[in-house]
């Protein structure tokens, strides 16, 4: 959506780290110039540290995992590791860390990836498949070993957990909708949230009818029991929502579904899925298994996550602009993300341990964990090599951000900051 591209540029201008978040395609092109290991896994494709977080599992436990799969695709395992490692250096510099502190953090994430992979290599595949990071268990474990210096951080973490439990669908409905003439409607907040009736280039009632038919198609991508659950709701309102950094410019719709009971409602997000940023570089197009890009995202997410949203599915819409693929999920269900800007070196090092383990679990479940463990080895050679790469790439990213900033100031690109 061309009108939103300046907002994307404005968000990327904020810092080298926000630029990095929006530059998955740039890094994919760079990584394609390196010699691959030949050890392929299901890649996240955009495994920077802000694309990890906590959410509710179907059994209502708060789990930590990767939470963004727009670029997921099979490819060399080291591409995810390198993108994750470099993101810690870029973010650490933005937070004012010294070179030594950045090096410590990035060595931590790579070491925990390597050590976790070696642990998974010694386990049955079912054990790997069931493994997950339960946030409550992590907090209790940390509480038992925390020093006096870590108790303040622990208290803050417990406060964030309490807040996460309130960030559910009903909270989102209370925040994003209001009652208008006895009917619940999504609240307008342009240009970030624009209800369908305010979009001048579409016929609202016609499009709503089309979307109701699309929901039926999406229903068919769910498990049988979840289809039955969805049948308790009907689509009543739709709005366009601007999300993220790299996703700004693509279409993302909020769908309000209401039950026959007046007080029950559900908010789903349908997010447009185009070809992965890796698609030109990671695998030949002929080997891609999914004709629908939304299905590609969902399949990759289900393969990499320990537990996935019960409403995760996909659909395809025929529009005046041609066919558009989408994946669908709950808009909010105990979502919790780290405030990266506020992390000090100690907190970011702890966060690095979680991210390293989590990425290893995802790769171990989708790739050859025995070959990966053998390649990584027992020594720190891999840790050191990736850490050196991460520092070098952070330097390149900083130069790219400066070039990008100059392009905005000269008018070569249009940017709308502060939105």
Instruction: Give 332-379 pLDDT, tens digit per residue.
Output: 767 788 899 999 999 999 999 999 999 999 999 999 999 999 999 999
Regarding whether 18 and 131 lie in a shared domain, the answer is yes
CA distances from 308 to 98, 263, 312 (A): 37, 26, 7
**What is the tens place of the pLDDT at every residue in 55-82?**
888 888 889 999 999 999 999 999 999 9
pLDDT over threshold 90, residue 222: yes
Regarding whether 83 and 175 lie in a shared domain, the answer is no
Regarding whether 17 and 157 lie in a shared domain, the answer is yes
Determine, yes or no, domain membership for 359. yes
Q: Is 355 helix (H, G, I), strand (E, B) or coil?
A: helix
Of the candidates 185, 203, 205, the residue with the CA atom closest to the CA atom of residue 195: 185
pLDDT band at 180 (very low <50, low <70, confident <90, very high): confident
Give the start-end residues of each E strand in 158-242.
177-180, 183-186, 193-195, 233-241
pLDDT over threshold 70, residue 155: no
Among 116-130, 180-194, 199-213, 259-273, the least confident range? 199-213
The residues pairing with 193 across neighbouring beta strands, listed in sequence order, are 189, 241
Give residue 146's pLDDT. 60
Identify the domain boundary among 273, 302, 330.
Answer: 330
**What is the tens place of the pLDDT at every residue in 98-152?**
999 999 999 999 999 999 999 999 999 999 999 999 988 887 776 666 655 556 6
Cα separation, 349 vs 351, whole angstroms: 5
221-231 core/surface letters (b: 16 or more CB in 10 A; e: else): bbeeebeeebe
Per-chain mean pLDDT for the chain: 88
Pull the structure tokens for residue 375: 């390649």
Q: Is 208 helix (H, G, I), strand (E, B) or coil?
A: helix
- CA count, 13 A, side-chain hemisphere, 327: 24
Cα separation, 54 vs 255, whole angstroms: 23
pLDDT band at 174 (very low <50, low <70, confident <90, very high): confident
Q: Is 234 helix (H, G, I), strand (E, B) or coil?
A: strand
The residues pairing with 134 across neighbouring beta strands, listed in sequence order, are 63
Q: Backbone phi, then psi, for 220, in 5-degree steps?
A: -70, -15
Give residue 250's pLDDT. 79
Give residue 285's pLDDT. 55
Is the bond into 191 cis (omega within 30 degrees of 0)? yes
Segment 90-96 shows an average pLDDT of 97
Regarding whether 144 and 74 lie in a shared domain, the answer is yes
Strands 322-330 and 313-319: antiparallel
Determine, yes or no, domain membership for 415. no
Of the candidates 235, 251, 309, the residue with the CA atom closest to the CA atom of residue 57: 309
Determine, yes or no, domain membership for 80. yes
pLDDT over threshold 90, residue 323: no
Regarding whether 203 and 154 lie in a shared domain, the answer is no
Q: Which domain holds residue 305?
A: 169-330
For the chain, how long is the longest CA-to-CA vector?
Answer: 67
Cα separation, 142 vs 196, whole angstroms: 47
| Number of domains comprising the chain | 2
More confident residue, 336 or 200: 336
Regarding whether 137 and 33 lie in a shared domain, the answer is yes
Identify the domain boundary among 304, 330, 356.
Answer: 330
Determine, yes or no, domain membership for 405. yes
Give residue 179's pLDDT. 81
pLDDT over threshold 60, residue 308: yes
pLDDT over threshold 90, residue 244: no
Give residue 408's pLDDT. 96
**What is the tens place of the pLDDT at every residue in 249-294?**
778 889 999 887 767 888 999 999 998 999 888 866 545 667 799 9
Cα separation, 143 vs 148, whole angstroms: 10
Asked if 384 contacts 390 with a C-beta cutoff of 8 angstroms, the reply is no
Identify the domain boundary among 303, 330, 357.
Answer: 330
Regarding whether 393 and 245 lie in a shared domain, the answer is no
Q: Percent of the chain beyond pLDDT 90?
A: 60
Regarding whether 161 and 15 lie in a shared domain, the answer is yes
In sign, the C-alpha dihedral spanning 104, 114, 120, 122 is: negative
pLDDT over threshold 90, residue 324: no
Asked if 327 contacts 271 with a C-beta cutoff of 8 angstroms, the reply is yes
Determine, yes or no, domain membership for 214. yes
Give residue 265's pLDDT. 87
**DSSP notation for 93-117:** HHTT--HHHHHHHHHHHHHHHHHHH
Give residue 363's pLDDT. 98
Determine, yes or no, domain membership for 418. no
Give residue 111's pLDDT. 98
273-296 core/surface letters (b: 16 or more CB in 10 A; e: else): beebbbbebbbeeeebebebbbbb
**DSSP notation for 33-65:** TSPP-S-EEEE-S---GGGEEEEE-TTS-EEEE
Cα separation, 353 vs 106, whole angstroms: 10
Regarding whether 254 and 274 lie in a shared domain, the answer is yes
Determine, yes or no, domain membership for 419. no
């Amino acid at each position: 959506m061309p009108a939103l591209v300046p907002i994307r540029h404005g968000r990327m201008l904020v810092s080298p780290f926000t630029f990095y978040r929006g530059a998955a395609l740039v890094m994919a092109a760079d990584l394609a110039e390196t010699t691959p290991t030949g050890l392929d896994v299901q890649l996240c494709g955009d495994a920077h540290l802000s694309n990890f977080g906590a959410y509710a599992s179907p059994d209502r436990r708060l789990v930590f995992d990767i939470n963004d799969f727009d670029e997921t695709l099979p490819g060399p395992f080291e591409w995810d590791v390198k993108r994750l490692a470099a993101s810690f250096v870029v973010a650490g510099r933005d937070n004012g860390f010294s070179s030594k502190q950045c090096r410590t953090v990035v060595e931590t994430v790579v070491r925990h990836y390597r050590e976790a992979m070696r642990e998974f290599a010694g386990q049955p595949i079912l054990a790997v498949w069931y493994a997950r990071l339960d946030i409550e268990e992590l907090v209790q474990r940390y509480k038992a070993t925390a020093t006096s210096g870590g108790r303040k951080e622990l208290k803050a973490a417990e406060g964030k957990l309490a807040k996460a439990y309130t960030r559910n669908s009903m909270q989102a409905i209370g925040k994003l909708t209001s009652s208008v003439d006895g009917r619940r409607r999504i609240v307008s907040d342009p240009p970030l949230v624009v209800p369908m009736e305010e979009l001048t280039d579409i016929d609202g009632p016609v499009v709503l009818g089309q979307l109701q038919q699309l929901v039926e198609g999406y229903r068919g991508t769910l498990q049988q029991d979840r289809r039955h659950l969805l049948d308790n709701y009907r689509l009543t309102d739709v709005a366009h929502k601007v999300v993220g950094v790299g996703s700004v410019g693509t279409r993302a719709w909020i769908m309000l579904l209401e039950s026959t009971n007046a007080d029950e409602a559900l908010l789903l997000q349908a997010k447009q899925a185009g070809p992965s940023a890796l698609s030109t570089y990671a695998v030949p197009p002929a080997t891609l298994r999914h004709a629908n890009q939304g299905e590609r995202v969902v399949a990759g997410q289900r393969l990499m996550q320990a537990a996935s949203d019960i409403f995760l599915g996909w659909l395809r819409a025929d529009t005046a602009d041609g066919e558009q693929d989408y994946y669908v999920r709950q808009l909010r269900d105990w979502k919790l993300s780290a405030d990266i800007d506020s992390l000090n070196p100690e907190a970011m090092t702890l966060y690095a341990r979680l991210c390293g383990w989590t990425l290893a679990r995802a790769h171990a479940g989708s790739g050859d964990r025995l070959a990966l463990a053998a390649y990584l080895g027992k020594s720190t050679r891999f840790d050191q090599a990736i850490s050196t790469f991460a520092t070098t790439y952070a330097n390149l990213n900083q130069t790219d951000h400066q070039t990008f900033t100059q392009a905005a100031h000269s008018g070569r690109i249009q940017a709308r900051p502060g939105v």
